[in-house]
Amino acid sequence: MKKTIITVLLTGTSLVAPAAQAQEDEVSMLRAQIEALQAQIDALSSRLGEMEQEADSTQAAVVANAAAIESTAASIPAASEDDGVTISFSGAPEIEAPGGWSFKPFGRLMMDAGTVNLPDSLGRSEGFGSEMRRARIGMSGDIPGGFGYKFEVDFADGSAELTDALMTYEDGDIKLTVGQHNTFQSLEELTSSRWSSFIERAAFTDAFGFERRLGVSAEYSGGDVLVQAGIFTDNLGDLSNKSWSVDGRVVYAPEIGDAQLHLGGSVHLTNLESGDTVRYRQRPLVHFTSERLINTGNIAADSEFGVGVEAAVIAGPFHAVGEAFWQNVDMLGPAAMDPGFFGGYIEAGYFLTEGDSRGYRGGKFERTRPASPVGEGGIGAIQAIVRYDHLDLTDGPFIGGSQDAFFASLVWVPTDYTRFMLNYGHLQYDNAVFALPGGSTSYSADVFGVRGQVDF
């Protein structure tokens, strides 16, 4: 019995010892894991401390940068009225800066269509026609010191053609211009096509070759008096040649009560390059036809001399204007053969809308600004105009024909920068260059034309 008990006790002891050993191993493993976790926690705490220091450093840098930016901004002058820089809008943005700087873009689009009706038996091309009459873009502005500039290009015929390309200098009442610009012939010619009475200008202005030319000119404008004079070569598209011209114009434009009066005269002398010729001809009102029923043909000439007179009045909604121009040619033969040609027109117009009147400034007609434009509760400005236009290209041995035209124009100006025109013309020809089957060169033509335009 005693042996049995001892045996059991020894057996239990042998079993308990391995279990205790196993438990002690597990405790050691747990202690090692805890120590490893503590090491990781210590590492994370250390990294967290470093990150807090970095954040503090970054925040300090941000604060320092913000202070620097604020200091820099404070050192830059804020935009104010004292700067004098202004941006205004009048059809297009115009920027003006201190010292005399300015810049403004501008342009115009004119789209024409209509019909030309000639006698059927004449056998000439006629009927419907259309064209982009003008598609121009340009820029103008001032430069410190009294200088200015203007540059304009026309793309209407599918290629770029310079119209104005000039520089100016102004000092008080005196203005000097160098570059390609209008010569000083005719109120009708100098008035912009943007506010002409009809789709095309008076017949003599085109027939006698009035155009922009490269040259230098001077202008005096004081009170009611305007004096213009210049020396020119030829249009930039026709250079180079040795032709040159001298042009001058004087205008007296007083205001009498509520009426604006305009009285003027001009002279023109061109010395032609040796071997050159001149030719005078004209279309029936519209530009989109190629027909020219009066034509002198080429004349061998040494020089041209022209004299023009002009008169106009604007009184409220009414205006009237008339011009005459004599063009004489100095030929290369006997003086007795030298021909002289004549053109002129008279017109009257009246605004059918209340408060509207034709604009005028600087010796020429200007923009009409409707008193009640479309978009502001009105219908814009509506104007009716009639004109008699005469051109005679026959003198001596030169039978270029004559054209007597009776025109009517209805003009609608919805806003300051939009315009629509409806024109009708009845033209009578004598000694026309194309004859009817029976040989007669006297007949008539009827022309209709419409235009839509926008400018800025």
pLDDT digits (tens, 9 = 90+) for 86-133: 999 888 899 999 888 999 999 999 999 999 999 999 998 789 999 999
Q: How far apart are CA 341 and CA 282, in angstroms?
A: 13
- Of the candidates 308, 294, 156, the one whose C-alpha atom is nearest the C-alpha of residue 247 is 308
DSSP string of 127-167, one letter each residue: EEEEEEEEEEEEEEEEETTTEEEEEEEE-TTSS-EEEEEEE
| Residue 213 scores a pLDDT above 80 | yes
Sorted by sequence, the CB contacts under 8 Å of residue 169 that are 6+ apart come out as 146, 147, 148, 175, 176
Average confidence score pLDDT of the chain? 88
Q: Which two tokens stand for residue 387?
A: 């004109």
Confidence of residue 446 (pLDDT cuts 50, 70, 90): very high
Pairing of strands 277-278, 299-315: antiparallel
Q: Which two tokens stand for residue 98?
A: 């201190």
Q: How far apart are CA 269 and CA 184, in angstroms?
A: 11
Confidence of residue 241 (pLDDT cuts 50, 70, 90): confident
* Other Cβ atoms within 10 Å of 95 Cβ, number: 14
Confidence of residue 294 (pLDDT cuts 50, 70, 90): very high
Q: How far apart are CA 369 and CA 355, in angstroms?
A: 10
Q: How far apart are CA 242 and CA 263, in angstroms?
A: 34
Calculate the dihedral angle through the C-alpha atoms of 331, 229, 326, 426, rounding to the nearest 10 degrees: 120
Confidence of residue 15 (pLDDT cuts 50, 70, 90): very low
| Residue 39 scores a pLDDT above 80 | no
DSSP-based three-state secondary structure for 27: helix
* Phi (first) and psi of residue 442, to 5 degrees: -115, 120
Q: How far apart are CA 145 and CA 395, in angstroms?
A: 51
Query: Tokens 């071997």 identify what position?
Result: 275
pLDDT digits (tens, 9 = 90+) for 374-392: 999 999 999 999 999 999 9
Sorted by sequence, the CB contacts under 8 Å of residue 34 that are 6+ apart come out as none
Q: Which two tokens stand for residue 69?
A: 């930016």
Q: How far apart are CA 134 and CA 193, in angstroms?
A: 9
pLDDT digits (tens, 9 = 90+) for 306-336: 999 999 999 999 999 999 999 999 998 776 6
pLDDT at residue 362, as a whole number: 96
* Other Cβ atoms within 10 Å of 118 Cβ, number: 24
Q: How far apart are CA 213 and CA 165, in angstroms?
A: 10
Confidence of residue 11 (pLDDT cuts 50, 70, 90): very low
Q: How far apart are CA 277 and CA 275, in angstroms?
A: 7
Give me the residues paired with residue 388 across strands.
346, 406
Confidence of residue 13 (pLDDT cuts 50, 70, 90): very low
pLDDT at residue 64, as a whole number: 59
CA 137 to chain centre: 4
The mean pLDDT value for 346-371 works out to 98
| Exposure letters 312-336 (e unless 16+ CB within 10 A, then b) | bbbeebebebbbbbbbebbbeeeee
How is the chain split into domains, by residue range?
1-76, 81-455
First vs last Cα of the chain: how many Å apart? 131
Sorted by sequence, the CB contacts under 8 Å of residue 137 that are 6+ apart come out as 105, 106, 107, 152, 153, 155
Give me the residues paired with residue 107 across strands.
137
Confidence of residue 240 (pLDDT cuts 50, 70, 90): confident
pLDDT at residue 18, as a whole number: 45
CATH 3.40.1410.10 fits 81-455, yes or no: no
Give me the residues paired with residue 134 across strands.
110
| Residue 5 scores a pLDDT above 60 | no
Name the strand (E) or helix (H) holding 206.
Answer: helix 203-207
pLDDT digits (tens, 9 = 90+) for 138-171: 999 999 999 999 999 999 988 999 999 999 999 9
Residue 363 is classified by DSSP as T
Confidence of residue 14 (pLDDT cuts 50, 70, 90): very low
The residue among 49 and 416 whose pLDDT is bigger is 416
Q: Are 229 and 174 in contact (CB under 8 A)?
A: no
pLDDT at residue 21, as a whole number: 58
Q: Are 264 and 309 in contact (CB under 8 A)?
A: yes
Pairing of strands 381-395, 318-331: unpaired
